[in-house]
């Protein structure tokens, strides 16, 4: 094995595909949020902070961006990509559910997002503009679990 250059500008990110089912609503829906800086809709998520586990980071990011408390489920997909500056990112998307309650969740958006929607799987399939990562996940199907080395990027 040949030694390569050490990665100095790598980041690890997590995202949550939050499904609201059981009590709100009757048909499963997924939370997406519009991020004007990127110009598309995305799932909540962000960078892992030093000392956090993947689960802790996912819960924190969702709470910071939405005010919602979640239970983190299994990992759904892993993407690795480089942005325009050749910085590497590893992004792990998790399945998540809302912490149980019997009412519609109150979403409180952070300043980085301007809108949110709870959308069904069928709505998500045709939603535009949507994050390239979500688009790739949708093309593989909701029950797939994949690892991607890709040129898609949310940066």
Looking at the domain assignment, is residue 155 inside a domain?
no
pTM over 0.75: yes
pLDDT in tens, the chain (155 residues): 335 555 566 788 999 988 876 555 567 889 999 999 999 999 999 999 999 999 999 999 999 999 999 999 998 888 887 776 667 888 898 999 998 765 678 899 999 999 999 998 889 889 999 998 788 777 776 566 666 666 555 55
Number of domains the chain is built from:
1
User: Is residue 5 a part of any domain in this protein?
Assistant: no
Give a yes or no: residue 32 inside a domain. Answer: yes
CATH classification of the domain holding 138: 3.90.79.10
Range of the domain at 49: 11-100+107-149
List phi, psi (to 5°) of 52: -85, 150
Q: Where are the alpha helices (DSSP H) in 10-120?
A: 54-66
Query: Quick check: is 2 in a domain?
Result: no
8-51 pLDDT per residue, tens:
667 889 999 888 765 555 678 899 999 999 999 999 999 999 99
Q: Is residue 1 part of a domain?
A: no
Domain assignment of residue 77, yes or no = yes
Q: According to DSSP H, which parts of the chain are helical?
A: 54-66, 121-126, 132-140
Q: Is 27 part of a structural domain of the chain?
A: yes
């Amino acid at each position: 094995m040949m030694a390569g250059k050490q990665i100095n500008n790598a980041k690890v990110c997590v995202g949550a595909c939050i499904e609201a089912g059981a009590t709100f609503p009757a048909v499963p829906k997924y939370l997406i949020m519009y991020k004007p800086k990127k110009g598309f809709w995305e799932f909540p998520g962000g960078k892992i902070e030093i000392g956090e586990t993947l689960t802790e980071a996912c819960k924190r990011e969702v709470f910071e961006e939405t005010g919602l408390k979640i239970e983190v489920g299994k990992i759904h997909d892993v993407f690795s990509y480089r942005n325009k500056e050749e910085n590497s990112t590893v992004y792990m998307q998790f399945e998540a559910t809302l912490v149980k309650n019997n009412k519609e969740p109150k979403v409180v958006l952070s300043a980085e997002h301007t809108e949110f929607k709870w959308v069904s799987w069928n709505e998500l399939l045709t939603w535009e503009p949507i994050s390239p990562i979500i688009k790739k996940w949708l093309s593989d199907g909701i029950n797939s679990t994949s690892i991607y080395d890709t040129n898609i990027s949310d940066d």
